Amino acid sequence: MSNVTKPIGGDGGKSFDVEAIRTIGFRAGNRVDAILLNGSRKGGGGGSESEVLELQGDECISHMDIWVKKHKRSRRVFKVFLRTSRGRTLSAGKEGGTKTTLSGIRVLGIGGKSGDELDKLRVRYIKDYTPSAVVDRALAVIGVIPQGQTTETFSSSRLNKLSATSLFLEVVSSLETTSETGAAGEFTAKASTTFGLSVTTSTEVREEIESETFESETVTYSPPESHVGLEDVQIDDFAANDGTIWQFPVAEPLIISTPVGSAPALFDNVYDMTGTLALNFPALAEERVKKNGQEYYALQAFSAAA
């Protein structure tokens, strides 16, 4: 799998940005006059309005047929047919000219060019897409606050979750440098759905997080005596079609004050994203193993070590 951006159509009109899709519809007669994307019309007001599809949960566009034909002095979009991963379909316009088919895909976003009519669609998608499957739920330690130190978290639960999401995005993005799993595309699509964003790339997700966290209110935390603060977040493990595991946070991260003498059993099914748990809890030093590229602690590992 790989991420692709494909332009289809002519060069007339003005460009509009690629957006992650929450709702989609069209205005069309003999040609497609406009695309109705997330409540905004890109194109003219001619033709009749089609049904508007609101994508649900992890639903995505999985197939597109786009017909392009020269009209007057420019090539324009004459017809669009699409199908979602839930089997819902949408069609607008009439066939004419050259047909482009995109099949076996996951559309991440759509942009293009438009004037009085729809001149071009720019489709960003995962090619040869096979959905990742949830294979486990675990806890991840994403921050350790030793005794005598303080840290700041956001007062907004949304921003705290966005911050945790950014950490796992870095991990997923590093996977893409060694394997074309499409995981980064899936991750950004899931982030856009979860937080109501219109972005479609890893860079755009980071920019959105930076924008939302700028000048946001923070709360200071310092662990009590004989405790260490652990910033924990629940995560889902997803397996890509090639077996690569990627992770996504599914709850707001919380800081838990943990006694320094805590028994290893407290850390069952826990990823250490910091690599410092064993430094703060010496009883863990002999119990860690590697799982999915991260330090990991589980009861079965403790039993084996015993």
> What is the arithmetic mean of pLDDT over 285-296?
88
Half-sphere exposure (Cβ direction) of 180: Cα atoms closer than 13 Å:
8
Answer yes or no: is pLDDT of 180 > 70. no
Q: Which of 82, 96, 94 is nearest to 48 (CA)?
A: 94
Fold of 2-127: Vitelline Membrane Outer Layer Protein I, subunit A (2.100.10)
d(CA 70, CA 72) in angstroms, rounded, equals: 7
> What is the arithmetic mean of pLDDT over 55-73?
92
Answer yes or no: is pLDDT of 33 > 80. yes
> What is the arithmetic mean of pLDDT over 179-195?
83
Domain spans of the chain, in order of start: 2-127, 133-305
pLDDT band at 306 (very low <50, low <70, confident <90, very high): very low
In the predicted model, what is the mean pLDDT of the chain?
90
Q: What is the pLDDT of residue 38?
A: 95
Residue 200 in contact with residue 5, Cβ under 8 Å?
no
Answer yes or no: is pLDDT of 184 > 60. yes
Percent of the chain with pLDDT over 90: 69
Q: Which of 69, 75, 124 is nearest to 102 (CA)?
A: 124
- pTM of the predicted model, to two decimals? 0.86
